[in-house]
């Protein structure tokens, strides 16, 4: 199965982030512009949290806060789970399921190289299954000779 390093190479290592002192409105605008379900929260080049659409609904709207008046630091998730680039897609999915998260930053030798979403993981799984099916069909029909 593919490693997260290979996935990041394939999809690109773009990481969208905001500072913890930014207004939630700025983060929501960035998520909308990039069609992303979450952004990393980074101060001075270091990940200090993650802000997801889920965080915004649960900690903003339900508490009667306003996105223009609330700082990202006030509602972000501070415990950020991550994966290493050498880990497999299976391991990534296991972490996401176990921790009930949808976005996983990927590090290599202590350096952030990208982020994997559950959508990315599912797309890769489907592509892998299609490949395996075509290889099996080719093997069964003798197409590989």
On the 0-12 / 13-18 / 19+ scale of CB atoms within 10 A, 39 is: buried
Domain ranges of the chain: 4-141
pLDDT score of 132: 87
pLDDT score of 129: 86
Contact 22, 108 (CB under 8 A): no
Closest by CA to 50, choosing from 26, 68, 72, 21, is: 72
One digit per residue, the tens of pLDDT, for the chain of length 145 reads: 789 999 999 999 999 999 999 999 999 999 999 999 999 999 999 999 999 999 998 898 888 899 999 999 999 999 999 999 999 999 999 999 999 999 999 999 999 999 999 999 999 988 888 888 988 988 898 865 5
* E strand spans, the chain: 17-18, 38-43, 46-52, 83-84, 103-108, 111-117
CATH fold label, 4-141: CBS-domain (3.10.580)
User: Is the entire prediction scored with pTM above 0.75?
Assistant: yes
Residues contacting 105, CB < 8 A, separation 6+:
15, 40, 47, 50, 80, 82, 83, 112, 114, 115
pLDDT score of 131: 87
């Amino acid at each position: 199965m593919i490693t997260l390093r290979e996935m990041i190479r394939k999809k690109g290592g773009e990481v969208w982030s905001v500072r913890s002192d930014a207004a939630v409105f700025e983060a929501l605008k960035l998520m909308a512009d990039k069609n992303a379900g979450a952004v990393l929260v980074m101060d001075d080049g270091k990940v200090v949290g993650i802000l997801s659409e889920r965080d915004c609904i649960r900690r903003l709207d339900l508490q009667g806060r306003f996105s223009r008046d609330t700082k990202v630091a006030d509602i972000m998730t501070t415990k950020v789970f991550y994966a290493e680039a050498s880990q497999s897609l299976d391991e990534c999915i296991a972490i996401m399921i176990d921790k009930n998260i949808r976005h996983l930053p990927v590090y290599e030798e202590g350096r952030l190289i990208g982020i994997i979403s559950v959508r990315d993981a599912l797309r890769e799984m489907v592509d892998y299954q299609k490949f395996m099916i075509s290889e099996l069909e080719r093997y069964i029909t003798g197409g590989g000779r």
